[in-house]
C-alpha cells in the first residue's frame, strides 16, 4: 500500500511532524509501536480516583513554546488552556524538607559570579559552566541536583547551551499552562485531524530504500511504501531502523545514548497529607531525581505526585516507601500507585556537532529525523525540530 508520507512514532515529535505535513496538504500515516499515543506526554488517570490524573512524563507548557502554541491555534484549542497555579519547590536533603535557597552558599556565589562575563556555554558541560560561575559547592548542593531534576538524569555532562535557551513569550497566554484533563489532550487533538491516520501496536521489522522513497516492513508481514518518511523515535531505535545505505546518518545517531527513568505515580486523599501545596521536590541525596506534584491544579479529593527514580536504585515497594517518607505519609495512605518506565536521550557536550553530521547525511534525501534529542528535551524543542524537518522535506510544496 502506498502513502505520500509516513511518520514512525506517535509522540509529540511525530504527531507534530504529521500536523505540519497535513497543514501543507500532505496526508500522513503515523505508525506507533505501543498501544497509546503521546510518548513522553502521559496524563495517567487513576482507575480508583474518578477523573483524577497525574502527569507521568512532561509536566508543563510555557507561553514561550511558540511552535506548540501555533499548533494549538490551528486546532482551535487555545480556549482549553488552563493556567497552572504557582508553587514552590523544596529541597529533599538528609531526610528533611528544606527551602531551595538553603543549598546556596552566598559568599561563594558572590566571588564566582564575575566569571560569568568570561565564560561561554559553547562546548561546555553543565557542570563546567555553572560550577565555574557560581562555584563548586553551589553546584554540588543546589544547581547540580536542580539540573538533574530538570532533565531527569545525571546532568553533569549535559550541554550547557541547551539549557534555558531564550524564546519569545506570548503575553496573551498564561506563563505556565496545562489542560483540564492533562497534557495528553494535545496529542489527542492532533491525531483527530482527518488528514492524519494513526495506527497503534505497529511493530516495524525493517525499512529499506526504494528509489527516492521507502518500504516499511512490519513484523505482521505487511509492507507499506511511502515517498517521504519521518522517523520520530528514540536515537537507538532510529539507528536500528535507518536504511542500510544511510551509513553516515546511522554513525551519527549511534553516538547518542539513552537514559532510563523509573517513574512512580502516587495518589493520596487530601485529608491524609499534612504537606502544604508544593510544586515538587528536588532530591539532593536520595534515590529519586525529583518529585512533581499535581497541586498546580487542585482537586477537592486527591493529591498526586510523580517521583522520577534513578534506574535500579529501589524496587517497587521501596520506591513507595521512599516517596511516602519524603511526603510525610504512610504507605497505607496511598490510594493508588502506578509504575511507569520512561526513556530520555542522554545528551552530552559537543552534541551540536553530532546533529550537524546527521543533517549533512540527510541532506537531499526524503527522510527526516526528529525527536526530543536535537535542541533539548522539552516539548517545544521537539516541535522545533519537527517543523524544521517538515520545511526541508516539503519545501517545494511550500514554495509552490
Q: What is the CATH number of the domain that holds 339?
A: 3.90.660.20
Please tell me whether residues 355 and 250 are part of one structural domain: yes
Please tell me whether residues 336 and 387 are part of one structural domain: no
Please tell me whether residues 248 and 360 are part of one structural domain: yes
Q: Is residue 245 part of a domain?
A: yes
Encode pLDDT of 121-132 as tens digits: 888 999 999 999
Q: What is the model's pLDDT at position 205?
A: 95
pLDDT tens per residue across all 400 residues of the chain: 699 999 999 999 999 999 999 999 999 999 999 999 999 999 999 999 999 999 999 999 999 999 999 999 999 999 999 999 999 999 999 999 999 999 999 999 888 888 877 788 888 999 999 999 999 999 999 999 999 999 999 999 999 999 888 889 999 999 999 999 999 999 999 999 999 999 999 999 999 999 999 999 999 889 999 999 999 999 999 999 999 999 999 999 999 999 999 999 999 999 999 999 999 999 999 999 999 999 999 999 999 999 999 999 999 999 999 999 999 999 999 999 999 999 999 999 999 999 999 999 999 999 999 999 999 889 999 999 999 999 999 987 655 4
Parent domain of 277? 82-89+258-346
Please tell me whether residues 252 and 269 are part of one structural domain: no
Please tell me whether residues 245 and 361 are part of one structural domain: yes
Please tell me whether residues 211 and 146 are part of one structural domain: no
Please tell me whether residues 299 and 190 are part of one structural domain: no
Q: Can you tell me the distance from the alpha carbon of 21 to that of 7, in angstroms, rounded to the nearest whole number? A: 10
Q: With contact defined as beta carbons under 8 Å apart, do 126 and 160 qualify?
A: yes
Q: Is residue 174 part of a domain?
A: no
Q: Can you tell me the distance from the alpha carbon of 140 to that of 103, in angstroms, rounded to the nearest whole number? A: 9
Q: Is residue 31 part of a domain?
A: yes
Q: Is residue 114 part of a domain?
A: yes
Q: Can you tell me the distance from the alpha carbon of 302 to that of 298, in angstroms, rounded to the nearest whole number? A: 8
CATH number, residue 239: 3.50.50.60
Q: With contact defined as beta carbons under 8 Å apart, do 259 and 156 qualify?
A: no
13: number of Cβ within 10 Å: 30
Helices (H), the chain: 12-23, 66-74, 106-112, 126-134, 136-138, 144-151, 185-191, 235-241, 247-253, 316-327, 351-362, 379-393, 395-399
CB-based contacts of 156, cutoff 8 Å, min separation 6: 125, 126, 127, 144
Mean pLDDT of the chain: 94
Q: With contact defined as beta carbons under 8 Å apart, do 61 and 169 qualify?
A: no
Per DSSP, which regions of 221-352 are E strands?
223-231, 257-269, 280-283, 288-293, 302-309, 334-346
- Split into its structural domains, the chain has a count of 3
Please tell me whether residues 188 and 306 are part of one structural domain: no
242: number of Cβ within 10 Å: 22
Please tell me whether residues 117 and 231 are part of one structural domain: no
Domain boundary pick from 308, 331, 346: 346
Percent of the chain with pLDDT over 70: 98
Please tell me whether residues 263 and 238 are part of one structural domain: no
Percent of the chain with pLDDT over 90: 91
Domain boundary pick from 329, 346, 363: 346
Q: Is residue 173 part of a domain?
A: no
Please tell me whether residues 195 and 242 are part of one structural domain: yes
Q: Is residue 268 part of a domain?
A: yes
Q: Is residue 230 part of a domain?
A: yes
CA-based nearest residue to 209, from 201, 200, 217: 217
Per DSSP, which regions of 32-106 are E strands?
43-45, 53-55, 61-62, 82-83, 89-93, 96-99
Please tell me whether residues 139 and 280 are part of one structural domain: no
Amino acid at each position: 500500500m502506498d502513502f505520500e508520507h509516513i511518520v514512525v512514532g506517535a509522540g509529540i515529535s511525530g504527531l507534530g511532524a504529521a500536523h505540519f505535513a497535513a497543514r501543507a496538504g500532505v496526508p500522513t500515516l503515523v505508525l506507533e509501536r505501543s498501544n497509546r499515543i503521546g510518548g513522553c506526554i502521559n496524563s495517567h488517570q487513576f482507575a480508583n480516583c474518578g477523573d483524577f490524573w497525574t502527569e507521568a512524563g512532561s509536566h508543563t507548557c510555557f507561553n514561550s513554546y511558540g511552535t506548540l502554541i501555533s499548533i494549538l491555534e490551528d486546532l482551535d484549542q487555545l480556549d482549553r488552556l488552563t493556567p497552572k497555579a504557582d508553587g514552590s519547590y523544596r529541597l529533599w536533603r538528609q531526610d528533611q524538607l528544606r527551602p531551595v535557597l538553603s543549598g546556596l552558599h552566598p559568599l561563594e556565589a558572590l566571588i564566582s559570579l564575575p566569571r560569568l562575563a568570561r565564560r561561554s556555554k559553547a562546548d561546555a558541560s553543565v557542570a563546567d559552566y555553572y560550577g565555574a560561575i557560581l562555584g563548586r559547592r553551589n553546584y554540588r548542593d543546589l544547581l547540580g541536583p536542580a539540573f538533574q531534576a530538570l532533565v531527569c538524569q545525571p546532568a553533569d555532562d549535559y550541554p550547557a547551551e541547551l539549557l534555558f535557551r531564550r524564546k519569545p513569550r506570548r503575553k496573551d497566554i498564561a506563563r505556565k499552562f496545562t489542560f483540564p484533563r492533562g497534557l495528553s489532550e494535545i496529542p489527542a487533538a492532533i491525531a483527530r485531524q482527518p488528514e492524519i491516520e494513526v495506527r497503534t501496536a505497529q511493530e516495524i521489522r525493517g525499512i529499506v530504500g526504494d528509489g527516492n522513497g521507502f518500504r516499511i516492513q512490519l513484523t505482521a508481514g505487511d509492507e507499506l511504501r511511502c515517498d517521504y518518511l519521518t522517523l520520530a523515535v528514540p536515537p537507538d531505535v532510529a539507528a536500528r531502523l535507518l536504511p542500510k545505505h544511510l551509513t553516515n546518518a546511522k554513525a551519527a545517531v549511534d553516538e547518542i545514548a539513552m537514559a532510563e527513568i523509573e517513574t512512580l505515580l502516587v495518589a493520596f486523599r487530601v485529608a491524609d497529607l499534612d504537606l502544604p501545596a508544593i510544586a515538587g521536590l528536588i532530591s539532593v541525596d536520595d534515590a529519586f531525581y525529583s518529585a512533581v506534584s499535581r497541586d498546580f491544579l487542585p482537586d477537592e479529593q486527591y493529591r498526586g505526585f510523580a517521583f522520577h527514580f534513578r534506574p535500579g536504585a529501589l524496587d517497587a515497594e521501596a520506591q513507595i516507601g521512599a516517596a511516602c517518607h519524603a511526603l510525610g505519609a504512610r504507605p497505607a495512605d496511598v490510594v493508588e500507585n502506578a509504575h511507569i518506565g520512561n526513556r530520555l536521550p542522554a545528551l552530552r557536550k559537543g552534541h551540536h556537532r553530532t546533529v550537524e553530521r546527521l543533517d549533512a547525511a540527510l541532506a537531499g534525501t526524503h527522510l527526516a529525523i526528529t525527536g526530543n534529542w536535537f535542541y533539548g528535551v522539552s516539548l517545544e524543542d521537539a516541535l522545533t525540530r519537527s517543523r524544521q524537518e517538515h520545511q526541508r522535506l516539503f519545501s517545494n510544496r511550500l514554495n509552490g
